[in-house]
Structure 1
Amino acid sequence: MFVEQAWILKRAALTPHYIALINLATEEQWTYQQLSEEIGKWSHFFERQQLQKGSRVAVFAKNHIQLFAVLFACGLRGLIYVPLNWRLSKEELTQILQDATPSILLYDEEGSCPLTLEKMFPLQSIEQEKDTVPSRQAVDMDDPWLMIYTGGTTGRPKGVVLSFQSVNWNAMNTIISWGLHAQDRTLNYMPMFHTGGLNALCIPLLMAGGTVIIGDKFEAETALQATNQYKTTISLFVPTMYQAMIATKYFQENQFPSMKVFLSGGAPCPHPIYDAFYKKGLFFKEGYGLTEAGPNNFYIAREHAYAKKGAVGKSMQFNEAKIINPAGQSCAPREVGELFVKGKHMFRFYWNNKQETANILQDGWLKTGDLAMMDEDGDFYIVGRRKEMIISGGENIYPQEVEQCLLQHPHVQEVAVIGVEDDYWGEIVTAFIVCQHQTTAVLDELNELCHQQLGRYKIPKHIIFLDELPKTSVGKIDKKVLQLLVDTPNC
């Protein structure tokens, strides 16, 4: 199967009057024909800027439908699209620019851009362009199209280079494995500097001819209202977003008849969220991915997900997965090991970092750094990050297991469990909890719950109440910040 970089123009020719994109805040809509015309404007703009194949185009902007026109125009011209995390500090962004060395920087005039580059243009600068027929450069499927920088929560951000093959095979694999089609609609709040905001559902649905509704600043009730207003059929949110959604009055009082399934990704999902959707007769399931592969790697039928809470299912149609133990052998059922994935959707390399590329790729397999296990049916479960595993008194403890236990308490809203250095045990289990009632009675109940369900070595030695947990730019709980908190005297 071969898909060239101009497939979006073919899609526009096939279904020109279908709605491709909707901007939630402004209600602006583009048909596929209009999207094609906008791509053409940007393509000619890049040509006049004399950008050569392989040049990097950095983009500093919040979620907006215009970003897709820029993205696809970069593809047609053989340019590398580099979306910047606008939530980073000026120093962090400057480091990324020094690494990526972009030829041009596009920014949103409505925001405040702290960066300076010789060639900088506002995204609104080509509104009056007359050329609408896209100009193109010849590219190879192994040529880079996107470069997405990792979050840097485990070190310095790395530029993950995704080729046309990487992006297109992730899209095709998702369409075929998940059964996406032109009648599907998704609401996307995932930031478009993140692989989830681009590659999870947006690009696959545009390839299939569906509709993508773009939101920017997440607000739980607004997101739920938009789900009904635009009759979305499949959407991805992170667990912290779901926590806020199920707590709203709108969720309790409304049905979502158009939704085939709600997807959760970015982090393991608390089981009470499954229960909230199941009680309303709604389908809910989890997925798994990472910037270097996907972000879509598994499929589980929506009808089976509730009976297997936490399962991501089996590897999709055109990729493979395996779990390897420390001895380098495949794990037996229920044995925890490191997850490896393989397929044409994987990244090409880390920009300017051959050593890290070699470290993560092994005989065509990607070492994810995530811990997983497989049940007797062949369904995969993500247990947690290998770097987050706690070793206390020689015993391996997986934070997710402790977190799921604590989340069963009716007053607990969010939990994060980490290992804290200890001279005697090596590490001790420490839990940070957002709770409605931060009382001694609740603390006693949590300890009792743990003693009922967990081995003694897994029970948190310390439980710390917080008003909120720190989050990364994509809404994940930031355990790196929590590690710093344990050194704070007033914690």
Structure 2
Amino acid sequence: MRWEIDWLENRARITPDAQAVIDAETNTFWNYEQLNNRAISIAQWLKSQGVKKGDRIALLAPNHISYFDLIFASQKIGAIFVPLNWRLSINELNDILLDCSPVIIGIHVNLKDHFSPLCAHSSLIFSVGDEEFESFTSNAGDCNHHYDEDINMDDPLMMIYTGGTTGKPKGVVLSNQSILWNGMNTVLSWNLSSKDVTLTNIPMFHTGGLNALSIPLLLMGGTVVIADQYDPKKAIQYLKQFKCTIVLFIPTMYHMMIHTEEFSQSDFPNMKVFLSGGAPCPLEIYEAFWSKGLQFKEGYGLTEAGPNNFYIDPNKTHLKKGSVGKPMLLNTVKIMKNNLQEAAYDEVGELWIKGNHCFSHYWKNGEATSSTFYDGWLCTGDLAKKDSDGYFYIVGRKKDMIITGGENVYPLEVEHWLSSHPLIDEVSVIGLPDEKWGEIVTAFIVLKTTSLIELDELKEYCSYKLGKYKIPKKFIFMDSLPKTHVGKMDKRALKEIGIHPSHSKKVNTNKD
């Protein structure tokens, strides 16, 4: 194995006693030597179960130390770690499992009752978060272990599933190289140090939970505090209790935080900067932090690229409101027009990214992979512009993807399922602006003649096929849906109707 692949072992050699991971809820601490020994133990146990290089290892769990156990164990034996989104329905998870065919699946004890149907899967199932799992982590043999696999930087280490334009999930394959380079790029560009401490409250099945700050800080020798279900009051408590210096939340989480009494009374003495990602951040949130003299900035990324791609000096955010900054040290970015010409200053085009942090391919989907790359550039599908000072701004999306609470929802998937309801004649789904969630999934529905349907019935129908965050929070019933002159659904008109519901026949709204 090349030395740079198993960098956790090197980190454990350099700073064995430094705090690596803290579980905020149990106040359990692991130093780097302990973290590495857990990974060695799990690697040895996985090999005893027949796991080989290239095999997939899936995990369904809340934020938990097992994510790091399995990532670093996979790194040691050349397996591919596949974190699963527990917010998905059983059907959606089964589709993913059929696609990646893991040889072994870990399910946290707190999720086993709900996801018990997954236990019928042909893969080997093991429990996470119980005494038996802890026994797997405490049997490290000779720490000078040797594995016979020839593991290379280009070999896959992690596969994170993200939605497709048709709603079918795609496995984003991240190699040892892409994860290491994203970590190095983040450390160097964001000036992270071994003294930095972060709170990882974003779900760790997301690239933001794993690769935005957690992996880079562990690479640097810092401390990662993990917490499960987000509660704004608890998050503020943890930030102060563990003396966090940097944190990443999505705008919905910040929206909930700034409206608490705890936020108004806290000065966050150890925090250097608050980061926002996952969706465009409302200016209201910037102002809430600025009014307290706290540094706040926004970033941009995607599962396929990093997810870290830009850096902005927090002192510049007042002057460059809404900017994600400039490309980081070890990647490059450009904005391209449809004619494949680079856009001029302040001209909108598609954002293209190049760097060793980019993903290698979509799992078993060569067509999608080839359509995402052009001459070595990753074509993001997002629209951006650059000002004359070189600062980038994300202005929209080429695709109709909805981002609600940091989760991606693809309208076509929701439309297909709703249109299969026997009482629905026509449906169109869009995202509408929302102060709390950024966007809310909104379904415009035309019922069949004389049909009636209750809101609760629609929600229950959606839950059979769709994850909770994909279920529309707003249903608007209409006599007919507007079309363009060529007969396509006029989603611009629908958005206008959604913002001004008096234009529609009937509006039923259900908001969390």
Q: Which residue of 2 aligns with 1:162?
A: 174
Q: Which residue of 2 aligns with 1:120?
A: 125
The DSSP-based 3-state class of the residue aligned with 2:102 is coil
User: TM-score, with normalisation over the residues of structure 1?
Assistant: 0.82
User: 1:313, 1:379 within 8 Å by CA — same for their partners in 2?
Assistant: yes
Letter in 2 for 1:351: W
Q: Which residue of 2 aligns with 1:131?
A: 140
Query: Tell me, which stretches of 5 or more residues in structure 1 are unaligned?
Result: 391-398, 432-459, 466-485
**1:203-244: CA deviation from partner (whole Å, max 9, x where unpaired):** 000000000000110000100111111110110000000000
Cα displacement (A) at 1:268: 0.5
Cα displacement (A) at 1:309: 1.7
Letter in 1 for 2:124: K
Q: Which residue of 2 aligns with 1:371?
A: 383
Q: Give distance in 2, aligned partners of 1:413 and 1:105.
A: 34
- With over 3 angstroms needed to count, the CA separation of the structure-2 counterparts of 1:232 and 1:156, relative to structure 1, is same
- With over 3 angstroms needed to count, the CA separation of the structure-2 counterparts of 1:334 and 1:3, relative to structure 1, is farther
The DSSP-based 3-state class of the residue aligned with 1:269 is coil
Q: Give distance in 2, aligned partners of 1:25 and 1:361.
A: 42
Letter in 1 for 2:49: Q
Q: Give distance in 2, aligned partners of 1:488 and 1:144.
A: 50
User: 1:57, 1:82 within 8 Å by CA — same for their partners in 2?
Assistant: yes
Cα displacement (A) at 1:3: 6.1
Q: Give distance in 1, aligned partners of 2:140 and 2:483.
A: 68
Q: Which residue of 2 aligns with 1:99?
A: 99
- With over 3 angstroms needed to count, the CA separation of the structure-2 counterparts of 1:347 and 1:3, relative to structure 1, is farther
Letter in 2 for 1:127: E
Cα displacement (A) at 1:40: 1.3
Cα displacement (A) at 1:490: 3.5
User: 1:57, 1:79 within 8 Å by CA — same for their partners in 2?
Assistant: yes
Match of 2:492 among 428, 435, 450: 428
Q: Give distance in 2, aligned partners of 1:33 and 1:488.
A: 61
Q: Give distance in 2, aligned partners of 1:215 and 1:415.
A: 23
**1:443-490: CA deviation from partner (whole Å, max 9, x where unpaired):** xxxxxxxxxxxxxxxxx454268xxxxxxxxxxxxxxxxxxxx99863
Q: Percent identity?
A: 47
**1:135-171: CA deviation from partner (whole Å, max 9, x where unpaired):** 5333010000001000457520000000000100000
Q: Which residue of 2 aligns with 1:438?
A: none
Letter in 2 for 1:29: F
Q: Which residue of 1 aligns with 2:300?
A: 288
Letter in 1 for 2:365: N
Cα displacement (A) at 1:415: 5.5
- With over 3 angstroms needed to count, the CA separation of the structure-2 counterparts of 1:276 and 1:131, relative to structure 1, is same
Deviates more, 1:132-141 or 1:276-285: 132-141
**1:78-127: CA deviation from partner (whole Å, max 9, x where unpaired):** 00001111111111111111100111111112322331234111124342
Letter in 1 for 2:283: H
Q: Give distance in 2, aligned partners of 1:43 and 1:423.
A: 57
Cα displacement (A) at 1:388: 3.5
Q: Tell whether 2:158 aligns with 1:146.
A: yes
Q: Which residue of 2 aligns with 1:440?
A: none
The DSSP-based 3-state class of the residue aligned with 1:370 is strand
Q: Which residue of 2 aligns with 1:357?
A: 369
User: 1:62, 1:108 within 8 Å by CA — same for their partners in 2?
Assistant: yes
Cα displacement (A) at 1:424: 5.4
**1:363-408: CA deviation from partner (whole Å, max 9, x where unpaired):** 1000101010101101000112112499xxxxxxxx99x96xxx8x
Match of 1:198 among 185, 210, 229: 210
Letter in 1 for 2:333: A
Q: Give distance in 1, aligned partners of 2:440 and 2:72.
A: 41
The DSSP-based 3-state class of the residue aligned with 1:387 is coil
Q: Give distance in 2, aligned partners of 1:418 and 1:78.
A: 39
Q: Which residue of 2 aligns with 1:228?
A: 240
Q: Which residue of 1 aligns with 2:27?
A: 27
Deviates more, 1:417-426 or 1:140-149: 417-426
Cα displacement (A) at 1:428: 2.9
Cα displacement (A) at 1:357: 0.3
- With over 3 angstroms needed to count, the CA separation of the structure-2 counterparts of 1:429 and 1:277, relative to structure 1, is farther
User: 2:305, 2:358 within 8 Å by CA — same for their partners in 1?
Assistant: yes
Q: Which residue of 2 aligns with 1:88?
A: 88
- With over 3 angstroms needed to count, the CA separation of the structure-2 counterparts of 1:118 and 1:334, relative to structure 1, is closer
Q: Tell whether 2:329 aligns with 1:317.
A: yes
Match of 2:499 among 463, 472, 479: 463
Cα displacement (A) at 1:422: 2.6
Letter in 2 for 1:341: I
- With over 3 angstroms needed to count, the CA separation of the structure-2 counterparts of 1:380 and 1:175, relative to structure 1, is same
Match of 1:416 among 436, 439, 451: 439
Q: Give distance in 1, aligned partners of 2:361 and 2:506.
A: 38
The DSSP-based 3-state class of the residue aligned with 1:293 is coil
Q: Give distance in 2, aligned partners of 1:87 and 1:152.
A: 17
User: 2:252, 2:438 within 8 Å by CA — same for their partners in 1?
Assistant: no
Deviates more, 1:32-41 or 1:127-136: 127-136
User: TM-score, with normalisation over the residues of structure 2?
Assistant: 0.79
